[in-house]
Structure 1
């Protein structure tokens, strides 16, 4: 049985899932998002599927279908749920079936799944209501997995980029966290997801998995993906142009390329048998 504890008043809650104008802003340039955002390690996909009872997958916040296409390539049947109709339309054009809505309010119409996944999306979902919904739609023994590719910048890049954000976007979250260790920031999201899973009393003890990999970016590649960041999707064009110019200059000073050590972090648990 899925249980939901009483919620405290959220008037002062700054959780990302409450910032709907940001959560549903990524479709402003869905094609850019799809071509610039990183994919996920094959080893992660294989491990999730090995821990799932089958290959019927629900992708929460599927966006343009980046990870949905990877699971489809692994032999899965994938259904996406996505609140932004522009992102959903892009995913559909790549062959992914998508239904529009926020996951917490989405009607599964009696359907159940072997795995519920969320790639770089679970922080936009209420962690308790979302976990309860995941428990409802998972078959006994089904696997829940939310994951994020955590970029660990080289120190030179982290310092230079933070200075740019503080110069042009002093009130943005980017300026507050740009030079903090990324893994520390993401542990907050992982902890919230962990807590939400436990509060449903419907899952096994949550686990964290980690998959390390690297990617080298050219100047143009990095600048291309900057406008897809949640803190920048609504930035005025002149400010965004200044940010891109100064970050481009910083990358030029590093020789025109830099390498990011990514750690794809997973919070996961399986649905208890009824």
Structure 2
């Protein structure tokens, strides 16, 4: 399995955790979020479990429970933590136990775990404070593993998204982000380099490893628009603004044949505690 080189990651790293209002907007439609967001590579789930001393997992920013259910399917016991009651309630209905709060302020009440994981959510956590909190709740030999998907839609689709976003929300930072030439992989490499650096700065962790998993998934027009509506920034648009964006992107997908295959890269930053708590 390929390993991402920390030295190859661009700098400076983004700090989305300073913009929690975006993080807490995903619960606007938890049903769509759970339906449209992709699962994680089974190889990632298997590798995390294989490198932990047991099967009790703490899932930070568990959302609707996508990765939590994958760990449960693999035989693990999972406790989720999420700041959004709407997302948490959906996850509970699927069989995931969830407590409400941000990880930095959440009270573990003396409980410890074999792994602390976070799928597509660690960038909403202060990387140093979060890593320091993880040390407190990990058992000897446990593992902190944070991971997420990097992907770039075809140029015609991303171009239509940037142009539509500029029309409906020109003053938004995400309008500028949509128009940038930097690839999602470059952005996520920087983000996960920042996560690894947070583990180093928190102390009491082994040297972080960075894992990489490449895979692909095909989308129809409607499937991609369903996914797109769950992404940061679009979750904060009005219904009229969202309709403009989705119509524009949908027309671009129609122009390339009505669908496409997305190349995904799932990145992970992971480390184990050293010494005693």
- Tell whether the structures are fold-level matches, with TM greater than 0.5: yes
Distance 1:127 1:96 in 2: 25
2:111 alignment partner in structure 1 = 111
**Which region of structure 1 is more displaced relative to structure 2, 68-77 or 150-159?**
150-159
Give the conservation status (yes or no) of the 8 Å contact 1:138–1:271.
yes
State the Cα distance separating 1:157 from its structure 2 match: 2.9
State the Cα distance separating 1:17 from its structure 2 match: 1.6
Give the conservation status (yes or no) of the 8 Å contact 1:152–1:263.
no
- For residues 195-233 of structure 1, give each alpha carbon's deviation from its aligned partner in whole angstroms, at most 9, with x where no partner exists: 110011111001110001101111101111222111111
List alignment gaps of at least 5 residues for structure 2. Answer: 1-13
Matches within 5 A, 1:1-274: 15-178=15-178, 179-274=181-276
**Which region of structure 1 is more displaced relative to structure 2, 222-231 or 64-73?**
222-231
Give the conservation status (yes or no) of the 8 Å contact 1:161–1:250.
no
Give the conservation status (yes or no) of the 8 Å contact 2:161–2:245.
no
Give the conservation status (yes or no) of the 8 Å contact 1:152–1:182.
yes
Distance 2:165 2:113 in 1: 42
Give the conservation status (yes or no) of the 8 Å contact 1:152–1:260.
yes
Distance 1:42 1:52 in 2: 16
Distance 2:140 2:173 in 1: 40
Q: TM-score, normalised by structure 2?
A: 0.91
Report the count of equivalent residues. Answer: 262
Q: TM-score, normalised by structure 1?
A: 0.92
State the Cα distance separating 1:18 from its structure 2 match: 2.3
Q: Over the residues paired in the alignment, what is the CA RMSD in angstroms?
A: 1.5
Distance 2:243 2:162 in 1: 16
Distance 2:270 2:69 in 1: 20
1:10 alignment partner in structure 2 = none
